[in-house]
Amino acid sequence: MRAKVSGTDLKTGGIALHNLQKRYGSATAVDDVSLSVSPGEFISLLGPSGSGKTTTLMMVAGFELPDSGRVLLDDRDITRLPPHRRELGVIFQNYALFPHMTVAENVAYPLRMRRVAKAEVEARVRRVLDQVHLGALASRRPHQMSGGQQQRVAIARALVFDPPVLLLDEPLGALDKKLREHLRGEIKTLHKEVGKTMIYVTHDQDEALAMSDRVAVMHEGRIRQVSAPQELYRRPADLFVASFVGEVNLIPVKLKSGVVYGGAGEKLPAAPWPDADGDATLCVRPEHLHLDPSAAGSSHGVPGHVVGRTFMGDATIFEFRSDSGLRLTSKVLNISAESMPDVGDACAASWAVSDATVLTE
């Protein structure tokens, strides 16, 4: 039961993971994962296949036991509690609906298990089906519904017993792109309406950036960075995050006395780097890399030529080859009639100092 004070729910649903470790045989699936999720927060676990996202979520849900480490729900240690006693709503990619039950029966199931009175079950099922816009389909069976509708039933079933936390494992993974984008918006709206903590597993960076208050990027069982979406994109903490989240130009550089030098010894625009001399990588997003034909031959920017130009509908992508042999990508939105450089044109590539991140790992 959620704590009540003077008839109002206390804000609950904080989750804390402390040094979670999980091995399967000799392989480490989750390696020293610690994470604190605030009540009402929407946090995504983002990473490539096999990075440990699902295993982490399953340890929160109670379907997997960690070899070491702890899971806390509102400061209560739930590490070894069975799943049904954790009061967490879980939504899987494959919906996991009961095929022989109607939508209403599927959604009522968690309440029946908890022996809630019949009238109360009916009222709650009606309310939650309206919330996910399925009120009119209550008597259908899962096979008579689209994938998107089935996923809404799964969400309704997880919401119906009013858990403080929802755990979602790639819930949109089986759906086509348009429907994913639509349901993404619906889940986000639902999150605002119900105010529950949500932990959302995905390998889709757009989904994670669009939906989350914060994103935890996982790689090889470890969390590499936990940040708000803008921060993650603008200031990646390491090369893995820089290349996994969005497109990026990675330029090998040398740092000397606070100046960043390219491979041909040219000075590159980047913030002075305190006390870190030696090899590093400069990261610049394609939309921040400008190609200027009028600056070709001047001392401004990196000299080179356009070697490719691709029309992408909303944007044009340019491939640039510097005189020193670097291959860089520039992305320009097709919003103006301004002329753009052509393949073969000499240009200078440049970017604002504030748009460059220097990584020394």
Ligand X SMILES: Nc1ncnc2c1ncn2[C@@H]1O[C@H](COP(=O)(O)OP(=O)(O)OP(=O)(O)O)[C@@H](O)[C@H]1O
Point out which residues bind ligand X (CB under 6 A).
24, 27, 29, 47, 49-55, 203
Closer CB to ligand X, residue 164 or residue 221?
221
d(CA 177, CA 204): 11
Closer CB to ligand X, residue 33 or residue 129?
33
d(CA 26, CA 21): 13
d(CA 255, CA 276): 7
Closer CB to ligand X, residue 55 or residue 150?
55
d(CA 67, CA 73): 19
In whole angstroms, the minimum distance from the beta carbon of 44 to ligand X comes to 12
In whole angstroms, the minimum distance from the beta carbon of 24 to ligand X comes to 3
Helix (H) or strand (E) holding 321, with range, is strand 315-322
Closer CB to ligand X, residue 47 or residue 89?
47
Positive or negative torsion for Cα 160, 163, 164, 167: negative
Closest CA to 134 of 172, 106, 162: 106
In angstroms, what CA-CA distances link 285 with 3, 214, 357? Answer: 47, 21, 10
Strands (E), 137-192: 165-169
Closer CB to ligand X, residue 172 or residue 260?
172
Closest CA to 46 of 248, 204, 167: 204
Give the amino acid at 265: G
In whole angstroms, the minimum distance from the beta carbon of 72 to ligand X comes to 20
Closer CB to ligand X, residue 152 or residue 203?
203
In whole angstroms, the minimum distance from the beta carbon of 55 to ligand X comes to 3
In whole angstroms, the minimum distance from the beta carbon of 103 to ligand X comes to 27
Closer CB to ligand X, residue 214 or residue 285?
214
In whole angstroms, the minimum distance from the beta carbon of 25 to ligand X comes to 7
In whole angstroms, the minimum distance from the beta carbon of 51 to ligand X comes to 4
Q: Which residues contact 317 (CB under 8 A, 6 or more apart)?
A: 286, 308, 309, 310, 329, 330, 331
